[in-house]
């Protein structure tokens, strides 16, 4: 990737004369099966550009209640794009076609914002990297299309979904009017995202990206490593990540089967449940293991810089932390102060 970056011919991507960006966008069109593609700095911007380009201002966007676009993108969907989220429940991040059909709203009721977009997420981040099957995506597309509503696919980890389902990327993109995927997650490139769709959508998307400051000069520096990633069997890389995640999940279950739901570990994310995630994450960091924690959930993610030794280290650190925690609890239960307090309360 560094060699490709150093050798990349550059230009003004906003004017269409950066040859490296043009090559990446052509490659993305081929892989997604879409007419146009656009390199953007981030996935959050890609989602926001898509909502704007789909003319959602003043309308509703149907999303899963746990969707990244609804929970983790600073409210841009409403604040900047002027849309209203219509969150609905899902099972493990996979929306049900009947539930989506029930949430769609037309223009008959002047008191209700009409549905302008259905947003899917595959794989689903918060649910632990779960995958929406091809058949379900097709059924969701049919529901939305029947109501004249476009579908946007938040495909941050779409290569993970394709590798898990053993289907080409364009098969998963087919049900969506617009789609984006990350270059900097499982693909291992330094930065960036690709947004794709038909020519009419992309014309609006480029205008929205320009408004948001997403059109870059010399962006070939970002595009060159991404081309390397896409041309070097990304599916094999993602399958390797999935195997490592499964190994990690099984190891955690061996430590304590309440830590992880093995049924949700399909791709490269492992959600681990403890009493105090932040305390455990701090203890992991002290042992050289980086993970995200909030509430009771720790999120482990496998990627190109993680190997078998990394998994063994993470499991060893978790074993040590859990052992120490159990020792502390045992000591607390038997401490004189605790016994004294119990006796006083008893009297």
Structure tokens at 343: 């006796």
Of 3.40.50.300, 3.40.640.10, 3.30.70.100, 3.40.190.10, the CATH number of 2-231 is 3.40.640.10
CA pair distance 32, 262, nearest whole angstrom: 30
**Residue 325 CB burial class (10 angstroms; 0-12, 13-18, ≥19):** middle
End-to-end CA distance of the chain: 72
- Enumerate residues 6+ apart whose C-beta is below 8 A from 111: none
Q: Where in the chain are the domains?
A: 2-231, 234-336
Condensed to tens digits (0 to 9), the pLDDT of residues 204-237 reads 999 999 999 999 999 999 999 999 999 999 999 9
Q: What confidence score (pLDDT) does residue 251 get?
A: 98
* Contact (CB, 8 A) for 271 and 260: yes
Q: Can the peptide bond before residue 266 be classed as cis, meaning omega within 30 degrees of 0?
A: no
Long-range pairs of 143-148 with CB within 8 A, sequence gap ≥ 24:
143/97, 143/100, 143/101, 143/104, 143/118, 144/100, 144/104, 144/118, 147/101, 147/104, 147/106, 147/115
Q: What is the pLDDT of residue 331?
A: 56
**Ordered per-residue pLDDT tens for the chain, 347 residues:** 999 999 999 999 889 999 999 999 999 999 999 999 999 999 999 999 999 999 999 999 999 999 999 999 999 999 999 999 999 999 999 999 999 999 999 999 999 999 999 999 999 999 999 999 999 999 999 999 999 999 999 999 999 999 999 999 999 999 999 999 999 999 999 999 999 999 999 999 999 999 999 999 999 999 999 999 999 999 999 999 999 999 999 999 999 999 999 999 999 999 999 999 999 999 999 999 999 999 999 999 999 999 999 999 999 999 999 987 666 665 555 544 333 323 233 32
β 115-121/60-64 pair status: parallel
The Cα 218–Cα 149 span in angstroms is: 36
How many whole angstroms separate alpha carbon 121 and alpha carbon 92?
11
Any idea what the Cα angle at residue 137 is, between residues 135 and 140, rounded to 5°?
A: 110
Report DSSP state, residue 327. H
How many angstroms separate the CA atoms of 87 and 67, rounded? 8
Q: Which CATH number fits domain 234-336: 3.30.70.260, 3.40.50.300, 3.90.1150.10, 3.55.50.30?
A: 3.90.1150.10
Q: 0.75 exceeded by the pTM?
A: yes
In this prediction, residue 324 carries a pLDDT of 78
Given a contact cutoff of 8 angstroms between Cβ atoms, the answer to whether 105 and 114 are in contact is yes
Say if CB 13 and CB 216 are below 8 A apart. yes
What pLDDT is attached to residue 234? 94
pLDDT of residue 336: 41
The answer for 116, left when phi > 0, alpha when psi is -120 to 50, beta otherwise, is alpha
Q: Which letter does DSSP use for residue 175 in this model?
A: T
Structure tokens at 82: 């002027």
- Asked if residue 144 lies in contact with residue 118, where contact means CB atoms within 8 angstroms, the answer is yes
Task: Tell me how far apart the alpha carbons of residues 155 and 174 are, in angstroms, rounded to a whole number.
Answer: 12
């Amino acid at each position: 990737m560094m060699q490709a970056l150093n050798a990349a011919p550059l230009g003004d991507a906003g004017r269409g004369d950066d040859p490296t960006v043009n090559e990446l966008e052509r490659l993305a069109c081929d892989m997604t099966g879409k007419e146009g593609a656009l390199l953007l700095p981030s996935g959050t911007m890609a989602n926001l550009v898509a909502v704007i380009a789909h003319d959602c201002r003043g309308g509703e966007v149907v999303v899963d209640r746990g969707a990244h676009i609804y929970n983790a993108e600073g409210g841009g969907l409403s604040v900047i794009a002027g849309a209203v989220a219509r969150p609905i429940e899902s099972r493990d991040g996979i929306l049900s076609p009947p539930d989506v059909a029930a949430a769609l709203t037309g223009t008959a009721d002047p008191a209700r914002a009409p549905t302008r977009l259905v947003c899917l997420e595959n794989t689903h981040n918060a649910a632990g990297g779960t995958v929406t099957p091809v058949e379900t995506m097709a059924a969701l597309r049919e529901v939305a299309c029947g109501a004249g509503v476009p579908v946007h696919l938040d495909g941050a980890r779409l290569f993970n979904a394709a590798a898990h389902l053993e289907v080409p990327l364009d098969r998963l993109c087919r049900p969506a009017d617009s789609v984006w995927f990350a270059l900097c997650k499982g693909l291992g490139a330094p930065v960036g995202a690709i947004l794709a769709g038909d020519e009419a959508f992309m014309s609006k998307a480029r205008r929205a990206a320009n408004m948001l400051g997403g059109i870059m000069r010399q962006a070939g520096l970002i595009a060159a490593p991404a081309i390397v990633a896409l041309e070097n069997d990304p599916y094999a890389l993602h399958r390797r990540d999935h195997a490592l995640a499964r190994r990690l999940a099984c190891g955690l279950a061996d430590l304590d089967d309440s830590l992880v739901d093995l049924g949700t570990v399909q791709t490269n994310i492992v959600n681990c449940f403890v009493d105090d995630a932040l305390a455990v994450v701090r203890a992991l960091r002290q042992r050289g293991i980086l993970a995200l924690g909030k509430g009771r959930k720790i999120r482990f993610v496998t990627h190109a810089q993680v190997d078998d030794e990394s998994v063994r280290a993470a499991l060893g650190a978790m074993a040590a932390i859990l052992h120490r925690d159990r020792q502390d609890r045992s000591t607390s239960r038997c401490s004189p102060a605790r016994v004294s307090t119990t006796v006083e309360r008893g009297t």
